Chain A
Amino acid sequence: MSVQILIVAEHDGTRLNVSTAKCVTCARAVSGAVVTVAVFAADAAAVAAQAAQLAGVDKVLAVDNPANAHALAAVLAPQVAALAGPYALVLGPSTTFGKDLMARVGGLLDAPQVSDIMAIESAVRFRRPIYAGNAILTVEAVDAPKVVGTVRTASFEGAASGGSAAVEKVSLNVTLPTHTRFVSVSAARNDRPDLQTAARVISGGRALGSADGFKILYSLADKVGAAVGASRAAVDAGYAPNEMQVGQTGKIIAPELYMAVGISGAIQHLTGIKDARTIVAINKDGEAPIFEVADFGLVGDLFQVIPEIERLL
């Protein structure tokens, strides 16, 4: 039996975010899945073409509208809801984009949402972390004709390229609100790999002591092609901007290599990194909880160890 699944694409207007490829992998885990990706943009053609190339995508819907130039949940949600009719499952990524949008979609559809799907057992049965990852819950939708979900991107590999789905232009007859208006977004620097998709991540904690202290991490990161992250304590102290925060309330990541430098390892931080393949901890306190989860632990002064690692490479 086929199961119709709709995925709402995340993108920046020109490039499809890798979170969408991860949603495709999640959707494909449902037996009989027929996967449609919807792209909402001012001009969706370029992003729709990228979505069509993902293996496992059966169809792409491109919805052009000048109102879609910025991803505003209040503007996108009624459009997603208008498309959702034939689909049993409507998915988006569990990123700030998807979390903001999908719950509003669920509200419009009167459909229950499963947040942070980490495994999908069927179109109605899912596993998800609760209590900041301290427990894993299996939930099953009952008496729900439609289910909305957000996909925990760290739990899925991105779908490969090699697909050739048809792209269909769709125009929707939906009245869109004007009560929510985009003003600006801070320009994120993009000369380093993206924190959420980087194979290597080096994160610093409060022990770095200042924004200046983080420079030794940036230097090492640039040498090994790593992204730089930070603990909540370091962000709260103003050593690093909020978008660098790794953890339950920041970004949840799954790099090949994670180096925690001067991070003690509070539960909420560990929640954000536990899917990392290899964890390295560098800390002067040998009793720090980060060592409990680290594959390699080094007790020492980070201000000596980090430059030395850089010299040895």
Chain B
Amino acid sequence: MKRILVGIKRVVDYNVRIRVKPDGTGVVTDGVKMSINPFDEIALEEALRIKERGGADEVVVATVGPADTQQQLRTALAMGADRALLVQADGVIEPLVAARALLKLVEREQPLLVILGKQAIDDDNGQTAQILAALWNRPQATYASKIEITGETARVTREVDAGLETLDVDLPAVISTDLRLNEPRYVKLPDIMKAKKKPLDTLPLADLGVQARTQLKLVRFEAPPQRQKGIRVKDAAELVDALKKKGLL
């Protein structure tokens, strides 16, 4: 069975305006809309497209997180994933722990490909795909904007600072997605109904033999310094004068 494993994370929805708690212990998440991390949605969409082209037989979506993450897994099933795995753990999951948990799932599921988002939009760590590839001792192709699979190899175009880089990686491999890989599909109502019948298994993190250690203590959260609002100029001449006075032109 050719299988693709997709990792998703439950995060504060990207449209929510983030507020730091006054006591500096975190950001406000009470009553805030939660969603699948947008880069992970792209990862799932890509896996579904590969399957639809005949490149895979099954798409399994997995997450490490609290029980509530079932909601996001159901959304992923509604998008088209065949089954879902919830590795249940509360509190902060550091990337090393998430990658270790995913590695356990990889050992069970033997996927051809693991696709993850390049970073989660909450902690912005951007590490899990690379760590998983390291622990698995397999290739990584991060920041993918195009994936072509031919036999035992994937040709991946990556968005790098210099432009676009192309790599060939032997499968199995870990790929992380960038924004322009695809545009995820919208979930249709009948699919939400169908998703309720799809398998969703829950495994406690400890049952996988992974220790939920934390090595980075979150000392303090602060709001970023605000820029002072500047002045309006009336035309190009006034702007050029102002910039010349500051020695900027």
Contact = CB atoms under 8 A, between A and B. Distances in A.
Nearest to B159: A242
Interface string A255-289: 01100000000000000001000111010000000
B241 to A, nearest CB: 9
B109 interface: no
A123 to B, nearest CB: 14
B133 to A, nearest CB: 6
Interface in A59-118: 72-74, 77, 95-97, 99-101, 103-108, 110, 112-116
A297 interface: yes
A137 B221 contact: yes
B217 interface: yes
Contacts of B94: 112
Contact of B169 (A125, A180, A242, A274): A180
A45 to B, nearest CB: 23
Contact of B130 (A103, A179, A274): A103
B182 interface: no
A211 to B, nearest CB: 16
A48 B170 CA distance: 32
A184 B165 contact: yes
B18 A135 contact: yes
Q: Is the interface of A mostly helix, strand, loop or mixed?
A: mixed
B232 A297 contact: yes
A185 B158 CA distance: 9
B96 A107 contact: yes
Interface stretch (A50-58, A140-148, A162-170): A140-148
B248 A130 contact: no
Contacts of A293: 227, 229
A106 B239 contact: no
A16 interface: no
B240 A309 contact: yes
Contacts of A196: 161
Interface stretch (A1-9, A24-32, A33-41, A298-306): A298-306
A96 B169 contact: no
Given A108-B134, A125-B219, A184 B166 contact: yes
A112 B224 CA distance: 24
Contacts of B161: 95-97, 196, 243, 251
B9 to A, nearest CB: 14
Given A100-B130, A224-B249, A134 B18 contact: yes
Q: Place the interface of chain A in its size category.
A: 35 or more
Contact of A185 (B125, B160, B173, B180): B160
Contacts of B130: 73, 100-101, 103-104, 106-107
Interface residues of B, number: 80
A74 B235 contact: no
Interface string B208-249: 000001111111111110011111111111011011001011
B134 A297 contact: no
A132 interface: yes
Contact of B217 (A73, A106, A140): A140
A200 B121 contact: no
Interface string A191-230: 0000010001000000000000000000000001000000
A220 B83 CA distance: 54
A73 B137 CA distance: 12
Contacts of B215: 112, 141-144
A96 B143 contact: yes
Contact of A308 (B20, B138, B213, B236): B236
B202 interface: no
B239 A74 contact: no
Nearest to B162: A188
A295 B199 CA distance: 55
A249 B131 contact: no
Interface string B103-139: 0000000000000000001111111111111110111
A173 interface: no
Interface string B132-172: 11110111111101000000000100111111111111100
B99 interface: yes
A163 to B, nearest CB: 25
A188 B134 contact: no
B230 A180 contact: no
Q: List 4 tightest A-B contacts by C-beta distance, closest first.
A: A107-B134, A103-B130, A107-B131, A295-B230
5 contacts: A103-B130, A139-B219, A186-B162, A297-B230, A300-B236
Given A77-B134, A183-B166, A279-B227, 17 more contacts: A73-B140, A97-B160, A99-B126, A131-B121, A141-B217, A142-B214, A179-B170, A187-B163, A235-B180, A241-B163, A243-B163, A249-B179, A292-B227, A296-B231, A298-B233, A298-B236, A309-B240
